[in-house]
Structure 1
Amino acid sequence: MRQQPLLELADCRVIVAASHQAADQLQACVSIAVVDSGGHLLLLERRDGASPASSEAAVAKARMAALNAKPTAALEANINGTRPALLQLAGLLGQPAAAMAGGLPLLHNGNCLGAVGVSGMTPDIDCAIADAGVAALP
């Protein structure tokens, strides 16, 4: 039997706090979501000025990254390039999931613990904010 570490609320708060710091530096109005390895929401914060839609998109990006254990930017690039069939992934997962840049898996010792998703700005800004959250994983 294999044992896998799990994200705790304290971990999620550290990840979101680091993402907020990056968003402050970039003056970004975004939503930040953290999900567990099954794509279930653990923590969501919508920054002042972020659109309501950004919160739904952040959760969907995080869910896609967690369930695939891959950055959503890579999935988006594949869809736009040689693998348009990957568009079907969101429908197969049975819950809202988006292959749009801004979702990053949270990896620890080869295990996907979950993911962080950021939405509300350009793909580059969303990814930079998500990167800051991933880097803060305790």
Structure 2
Amino acid sequence: MRHQPHLELADCRSIAAASHLAADQHQARVSIAVVDAGGHLLLLERRDGSSPASAEAAIAKARMAALNGKPTAALEASINGERPALLQLAGLFGQPAAAMAGGLPLLQEDSCLGAIGVSGMTPEIDSSIATAGVKGLGS
């Protein structure tokens, strides 16, 4: 039997706080979502000035990263390159999931605890903010 750690609300708040610091540096109007390993929403924060659509996109990016255990930018690159069939993944999950840059899995040892999704700015800025959030896990 394997015991798997789970994200707690305090973890989600640490991830979000680190993301907000990075977003402040970019003056970014983004939404930040944290989901568990099953892609279920644990925390959503929509920063002032961010669009309503960014909230849905952040959740969908986080869900895709959690269910695949991979960064969504890598999935997006595969779809745009040699694996367009990966577009079908979103339809298999039964809930919105997006293979767009800005979603990163939250990994601990060999386990995916969940993921963070950031949306509202460019792919580079969304990814940078998500990376800061990943670094906030455990702080």
Scaled by the length of structure 2, what TM-score is found? 0.99
Structure 2 residue 13 is the aligned partner of structure 1 residue 13: yes
Structure 2 residue 64 is the aligned partner of structure 1 residue 59: no
Q: Indicate the SS of the match to 2:35.
A: strand
Q: Indicate the SS of the match to 1:7.
A: coil
What is residue 111 of structure 1 aligned with on the other side? 111
Q: Which amino acid aligns with 1:60?
A: A
- Map residues 71-86 of structure 1 onto 2, 5 A cutoff: 71-86=71-86
Between the aligned partners of 1:56 and 1:136, the Cα distance in structure 2 is 22
Q: Which runs of 4+ in 1 moved over 4 A?
A: none
- In the alignment, structure 2 segments of 5+ residues that lack a partner are none
Q: Indicate the SS of the match to 1:126.
A: helix
- Map residues 12-51 of structure 1 onto 2, 5 A cutoff: 12-51=12-51
Q: Which amino acid aligns with 1:41?
A: L
The sequence identity of aligned pairs, in percent, is: 80
Cα deviation digits, residues 87-135 of structure 1 (max 9, x gap): 0000011110000000000000110000000000000000000000001
Give the drift of 1:13.
Answer: 0.1
Alpha-carbon RMSD across the aligned residues, in angstroms, is 0.3
What is residue 94 of structure 1 aligned with on the other side? 94
Equivalences, count: 138
Scaled by the length of structure 1, what TM-score is found? 1.00
